[in-house]
Amino acid sequence: MFKSVSTSLAALAMVAAAPVAANDLRDDLAADMPDLMELYRDLHAHPELSFEEYKTAAKLAKRMKALGFEVTEGVGKTGVVSVLRNGEGPTVMLRADMDGLPVVEQTGLPFASKETATPASGVTTGVMHACGHDTHMTGFIGAAQLLVEHKDKWQGTLVMILQPAEEAGGGARAMLADGLYTRFPRPDYALAFHDAAAPQPAGTIGISPGYALANVDSVNIHVNGIGGHGAYPHTTKDPIVLASAIVTRLQTLVSRELSPLEPGVVTVGSFLSGAKHNIISDEAKLQLTVRSYTDESRKLLLDGIARIARGEAIAAGLPDELLPVVEVQEDFTPSTFNDPDFAERLVTIFGERFGEDRVGTTPPVMGGEDFSEYRRADPENIKSAIFWISGTPQPMLEALEENDTPLPSLHSPFWAPDAEKVIATGAEALASAAIDLMPVGGAG
């Protein structure tokens, strides 16, 4: 995943021994790590779902207040904004996401989550930090502590936000709508990290200059038909046959309409219709996830879905009043774009601090992240970047190398990152980047 690091065991040993820049941040962080790991285990054991992060937010807000930040709770429902003013200079915003997922944990950790909740689906489920947001929050607190301890090394305004509902795709939007950029200092730079289930040593950093993550759209297609007896199909308009034609034709959007140089995904994740062997239903329902990078590609794919659904229905002989209904859901997550010059600056900062063998560029992915919203709200004035930190434990890397054993992915009930390395790397990376961006006596 990260271009500059080989996945061989020999390379892993080289990365572990890579030279690093001398710094006192790391000494202070080492003293903070026992408390941070206790916080991590607590957060891991007590996850909360999107927009339900009340206890998590209160717990972390208390820590930020104790550090001397001006803290505002309840921003965007459960978000927390903490501001620390330290003289004239740039404004840097650091972000961590707080929500867990409706996943039953199967990691076997002694502090595994036993929490349950009932999400919007109405089905009670286990809750787990299966995407590593617990490491994000803990690294965030570690960075806050370092920046307070080293206020003599930077000058400017630090805005640190704890965001709800990243998994639901609406948390960043909710915080912005609740005045993030009007009630609080507007950032010049926005920065975040995300753990990764990558085939690299835990603590390896990867950054994607330019597009890093994709536009994410959820689309519902309600396909109408005329039902009847399965023995007399000529008296019906079979919605299963029609929906099948739509599914097949949708595959040509990426293969025949989108430029080969533009990434795109149209996946039909759900196809529901019928209830009995010998009954032709009068409806079918399709659920799609649609991924792209540019606004132009997104429009092409969404317009094409609507056109294909309508065209196939007309070809099947359905009257106008029974043409399919295509619904693009409102929880759209825009693509995440790392300003290339900012990303390259981070590669340099992190390379000097952690060693070049531990830092590199990485290809973009088709996953989604609503961190993108912070830049899109003011793209002319805000530079932003999100970077990856591998959390893959060494035994998993060895099993991959020796037996080709697949790594568990993010959102897997088995994902248990090497939290200590992710947290230590994340805290030091966020703090060192903020210090570089807000130099004493400089313009940032």
- The verdict on whether 341 is a catalytic residue reads no
Question: Is residue 178 flagged as an active site residue?
Answer: no
Name the nearest CA neighbour of 222 among 313, 337, 97, 354.
313
Tokens of 352: 């000097």
SS3 382: coil
In this structure, are residues 139 and 423 in contact, taking their beta carbons and an 8 Å threshold?
yes
Exposure b/e, 232-253, CB count within 10 A at least 16 = b? eeeebbbbbbbbbbbbebbeeb
Residues whose CB falls within 8 Å of the CB of residue 341, separated by 6 or more in sequence, listed in order: 383
Find where tokens 């009068």 sit: 282
Backbone angles phi, psi at 22, to 5 degrees: -65, 135
Q: Which residue in the block uniquely carries the two structure tokens 């301890």?
A: 149
User: What is the rounded end-to-end Cα distance, in angstroms, of the chain?
Assistant: 30
* Annotated active-site residue in 28, 73, 99, 105: 99
Task: Please list, in sequence order, all residues whose beta carbon lies within 8 angstroms of the beta carbon of residue 419, skipping any fewer than 6 positions away.
Answer: 37, 40, 44, 134, 135, 138, 391
CB neighbours of residue 13 within 10 Å = 11
What are residue 43's phi and psi, to 5 degrees?
-65, -40
Is the torsion defined by CA of 293, 425, 103, 98 positive or negative?
A: negative
- Distance from C-alpha of 311 to C-alpha of 200, rounded to nearest angstrom: 47
Cα 185 to the center of its chain, rounded Å: 24
φ, ψ dihedrals at 438, nearest 5°: -125, 60
Catalytic entry in 48, 166, 188, 357 = 166
Query: Which among 399, 371, 429 has a CA at the least distance from the CA of 161?
Result: 371
The token pair at 426 is: 């994340």
3-state secondary structure 59-111: HHHHHHHHCCCEEEEEECCCEEEEEEEECCCCEEEEEEECCCECCCCCCCCCC
Q: What is the C-alpha separation between 147 and 350, in angstroms, rounded?
A: 17
Helical spans, DSSP H, in 150-291? 171-177, 239-252
Give dist(CA 298, CA 176) in Å, integer.
23
Q: What is the C-alpha separation between 59 and 93, in angstroms, rounded? A: 20
Catalytic residues: 99, 166
